[in-house]
Amino acid sequence: MGTLIIEKEKIQEMLNNAPENIVIDDFIDQLIVSAKIEKALDQLANKQFLTSEQLDEEIEKW
């Protein structure tokens, strides 16, 4: 899966917007999803992705 990184400010923002009593498992899930979205956006900005044609070629190799 690779390393997921999230900024402390983003965690603080999420905590500030969370309900007073939060289920820790739910919060951790939110952290993971948020970090994955940030990673995907970074990869997209840096053109680190496969086109649909490239993906089709990779699938054909399987």
pLDDT tens-digit profile of 2-56? 788 889 999 999 999 999 999 999 999 999 999 999 999 999 999 999 999 999 9
Q: What is the dihedral of CA 27, 32, 33, 37, to 10 degrees?
A: 140
Q: What is the pLDDT of residue 16?
A: 95
Is the pLDDT reported for residue 58 higher than 80?
yes
* pTM of this structure: 0.72
Return d(Cα 7, Cα 37) in angstroms, integer.
Answer: 13
Is the pLDDT at 1 greater than 90? The verdict is: no
